[in-house]
C-alpha cells in the first residue's frame, strides 16, 4: 500500500496527541511489551539496575519516546523518499545497542504489536485500520533498517 500524505498525517497527528501524555504513553508501551513477552523486558539494563518504580524511571520514558519519535520520522521519510532515512551513525549505534543487549529479530514483532496497541489505547477516537497500517508500515521500515544493521554486526 502506498505511503502518501494521508498516511504521514495519520502518524504525525496521532503522535502529536500522544506526546502530550508522554509519561503515560511510555509506561503503557513498556507494560504491553511486558505483557506479551515478560522475558524480553529483562534485556533492558535500566530496569535491571533500577531502584525506582517503573513509572518513575526517566530512562524508560526517554527511550520509549525515542521509539515513537523515530517511527514518526520514518513516516515522514517514507512519504518523501519511499524509504527510511536514519543517520548512518544513529543506525550503527542502534544496531550495536540492540545486538549487545541480546535482542533478536522475533522481538521486533513483539514491540510492533505493543506499539500499535499503545496507540489504539492512547487515541481511541482517532484509531482506525488506516492508522494501524500507516504506523505499521513506518515501524516495519525502521525495524528492517535496524535488523539489517544487527545482521552486519553479528
Ligand atoms: C535501546 C529504539 C526495537 C530492546 C534502544 C534505544 C533506542 C531504541 C533509541 C536507545 C539506544 C541507546 O541508548 O543507544 C528502538 C527502535 C526499535 C527498537 C526504533 C524498533 C524499530 C527494539 C526491540 C527490542 C528492543 C524489538 C527488544 C525487546 C532494547 C534494549 C535497549 C534498547 C534492550 C537497551 C536499553 C538499555 O539497556 O539501556 N532502542 N528499539 N528494542 N532497545 Fe530498542
Ligand atoms: C527501547 N527499544 C524498544 C522499545 C522500548 C520500549 C521502552 C523503552 C525502551 C525501548
CA of 64 to the centre of ligand 2 (A): 5
The answer, yes or no, to whether ipTM is higher than 0.90 is yes
In this structure, are residues 56 and 88 in contact, taking their beta carbons and an 8 Å threshold?
no
Average pLDDT along the chain, 154 residues, taken 10 residues at a time: 90 96 92 92 83 83 92 93 82 94 96 97 97 96 95 91
pLDDT (0 to 100) of residue 49: 76
* Residues near 38 by beta carbon (within 8 Å), at least 6 away in sequence: none
In this structure, are residues 99 and 150 in contact, taking their beta carbons and an 8 Å threshold?
yes
CA of 44 to the centre of ligand 1 (A): 8
CA of 98 to the centre of ligand 1 (A): 6
pTM over 0.90: yes
pLDDT (0 to 100) of residue 20: 94
* Residues near 59 by beta carbon (within 8 Å), at least 6 away in sequence: 46
| Ligand 2 neighbourhood includes 84 CB (under 6 angstroms) | no
Amino acid at each position: 500500500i502506498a505511503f502518501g500524505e494521508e498516511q504521514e498525517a495519520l502518524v504525525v497527528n496521532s503522535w502529536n496527541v500522544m506526546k502530550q501524555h508522554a509519561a503515560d504513553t511510555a509506561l503503557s508501551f513498556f507494560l504491553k511489551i511486558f505483557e506479551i513477552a515478560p522475558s524480553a523486558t529483562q534485556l533492558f539494563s535500566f530496569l535491571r539496575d533500577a531502584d525506582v518504580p517503573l513509572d518513575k524511571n526517566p530512562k524508560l520514558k526517554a527511550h520509549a519516546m525515542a521509539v515513537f519519535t523515530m517511527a514518526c520520522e520514518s513516516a515522514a521519510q517514507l512519504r518523501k523518499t519511499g524509504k527510511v532515512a536514519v543517520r548512518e551513525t544513529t543506525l550503527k549505534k542502534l544496531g550495536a545497542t540492540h545486538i549487545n543487549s541480546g535482542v533478536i529479530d522475533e522481538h521486533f514483532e513483539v514491540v510492533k504489536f505493543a506499539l500499535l496497541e499503545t496507540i489504539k489505547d492512547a487515541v481511541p477516537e482517532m484509531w482506525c485500520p488506516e492508522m494501524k497500517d500507516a504506523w505499521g508500515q513506518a515501524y516495519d521500515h525502521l525495524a528492517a533498517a535496524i535488523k539489517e544493521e544487527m545482521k552486519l554486526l553479528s
